[in-house]
With several copies, the nearest count.
Chain A
Amino acid sequence: MLYQTCHLADLFEGFASLMARERDALCRMDGLIGDADHGIAMSQGMAAAHTAVAALGDVTLQDQFNAAAKGFLNAVGASSGPLYATAFLRAGKLAGPRTQMPLADTPQIIAAMAEGIAQRGKAVPGQKTMLDAFAPAAAALGAGSLRADIAAARSAAQAGAAATTDMIATIGRAALLGERSRGHPDPGAASAALLITAFCDQIERLAQSEDTP
């Protein structure tokens, strides 16, 4: 089974509608420790990424990721813009200039994104950021089968996002809150867990359809 450009295009379409749906909830979350706009950044960013990807003709996976990066970044700015743009650029590098990649390799997209975010944000796990969803998900990979990897990454992302509630932010806008940042989940981790979940769900579906031809 191969992961093709049509699958990646679908993924971005899904990201866009997911973030539109979660926009207000993410804004409320950001309001508690930040500036209440994370839902707007993510929904605008993913809408732009989706539009950019959908507008492409006959292209490679890397072209798609690059277009998504540029679309997201230019629509959003903010913190999320450079972070997701860099994540997508790294994912594009991993996918490479080809129109399809083995399904079994797709979990590494999560790892590539995690690296991009860590590098752009100069962040490490435990600082109460989106990296606390991406890094555990990346770390959960490589254990066994594709199915196991995907399941492990998904639950690690969700657990990681949940765990941010008890963290004190030490980077980003919320860092200045110190102790007052504790007790609230990080909105960037929450949106990241949603996106990783959607990605894992897609891979799982594709793997299933392979099993049952």
Chain B
Amino acid sequence: MTLTQKLINDGNDAVDEMLQGVLAAHGAHLRQAAPRAIVALHGPRAGKVALVIGGGSGHEPAFLGYVGRGLADAAAIGNVFASPPPQPIIDAALASHGGAGVLFMYGNYAGDVMNFDMAAEMLEMDGIEARTVLTTDDVASSPDRSKRRGVAGNVFIFKAAGAAADLDMTLDEVERIARHANARTYTMGVALSACSLPQTRHPNFDLPPGEMEIGMGIHGEPGIRRAALRPANAVVDEIMDRLLAEMQAARGDRVAVLVNGLGATPLMELYILNARIAERLAAEGLAVHLTLVGAYCTALEMAGASVTLMHLDDTLQLLIDHPCDCAMFRQG
């Protein structure tokens, strides 16, 4: 059996070695509060709500790349595609809380919910209030918004909440803004290849050449359907039709756009997608306030891309523009 080509050592060590490399590179931004809890050097402060994010590894720069002043205060790091257990979540919360409460934000997956909930219960025993806002931006994953997965839209949603916290809003306010940001963020993606876990180095699903999976999740979960791979513009059109229908924006409304690569798809392709996305938004009379293009939330070496629209209002626009300084993401 052919093993997927990877630059790794023992697959079981991949996550910890990655963290070692991250800390070696980003000692000016990050510190390791516990083996799997990464904290912003300049993020947490007394009286500020602590934003703790987290999830499985393999989505880099998510989640640890979004830890920094103005965005998340800490991240709990799981194994590849696996929620972190409660302990690193607790470690991250304890290392970052400033007496104003903790907000957990992460993608809506059964495993993450169980682990973060366990962590929240344990923190409560220590007198630390931890609230939770799940991200549910993947429109392809369910007709029911509350059941949807959280995918690349995380970047915008975390960004808005992190800015609110950095502006010293209360836990109530930060939570409300996080929910609001999530409710106005819509993502859909396509996969052009599978990815492989470092331990097995075996593609996690079969995708015959010439086909794509529409609505693929960022862990290789099957999406809405298989289809023949079509030209970029047709792919964008299918995605945009769906996102625009969900978003229900009026002419003149503003959006933030994220054209996200899933890991192996190069920038050239993402910008080609953006050319069409910009055309479609212009045709709808929507103003693009900000466009991010790149690998922001990946699935190891999966080929493919997702498009996220955040439907801005004055508050969200302000929060999206608020400066942040993370190891792998800067704004303002």
Contact = CB atoms under 8 A, between A and B. Distances in A.
Chains A and B share a contact (CB less than 8 Å): yes
Interface of A: 23-24, 27-28, 31-37, 39-41, 44, 73-83, 120-121, 171-177, 180
User: Which 5 A/B pairs are nearest by Cβ-Cβ distance?
Assistant: A36-B204, A35-B219, A78-B82, A79-B111, A82-B114
B118 interface: yes
8 contacts: A41-B82, A80-B111, A82-B85, A173-B219, A173-B221, A175-B147, A176-B148, A176-B149
Given A74-B85, A77-B79, A33 B222 contact: yes
A37 B81 contact: yes
A194 B117 CA distance: 29
Contact of B111 (A40, A81, A176, A177): A81
A37 B114 CA distance: 17
A171 B222 contact: no
Contacts of A40: 79-80, 82, 197, 199-200
Interface of B: 12, 56, 78-87, 109-111, 114-115, 118, 141-142, 147-149, 197, 199-200, 202-205, 217, 219-222
Contacts of A31: 203-205, 220
A83 B12 CA distance: 22
B199 A176 contact: no
A173 B200 contact: no
Contacts of B148: 176
Contact of B114 (A23, A74, A120, A174): A120
B197 A77 contact: no
Given A27-B197, A37-B80, A37-B82, A74 B141 contact: no
Given A37-B81, A76-B82, A77-B85, A173 B110 contact: yes
Contacts of B81: 35-37
Nearest to B87: A74
Nearest to A34: B221
B197 A83 contact: no
Contact of B85 (A24, A32, A73): A73
Of A24, A80, A177, which is in contact with the most chain B CB atoms at under 10 Å from its CB?
Answer: A177
Given A44-B79, A176-B141, 5 more contacts: A36-B220, A41-B79, A78-B115, A173-B109, A176-B142
B319 to A, nearest CB: 29
Contact of A24 (B78, B109, B200, B203): B200
A77 B221 contact: no
Contact of A77 (B78, B141, B142, B202): B78
B197 A37 contact: yes
A74 B119 CA distance: 12
A120 B113 CA distance: 11
B86 A79 contact: no
B167 to A, nearest CB: 32
Contacts of B109: 173
B220 A76 contact: no
Nearest to A40: B199
B300 to A, nearest CB: 10
Nearest to B147: A176
Contacts of A78: 56, 78-79, 82-83, 111, 115
Contacts of B205: 31-32, 36
Nearest to B11: A40
Nearest to B86: A73
Contact of B204 (A35, A73, A120, A121): A35
Nearest to A176: B141
B118 to A, nearest CB: 6
B110 A81 contact: no
A66 to B, nearest CB: 15
A52 to B, nearest CB: 13
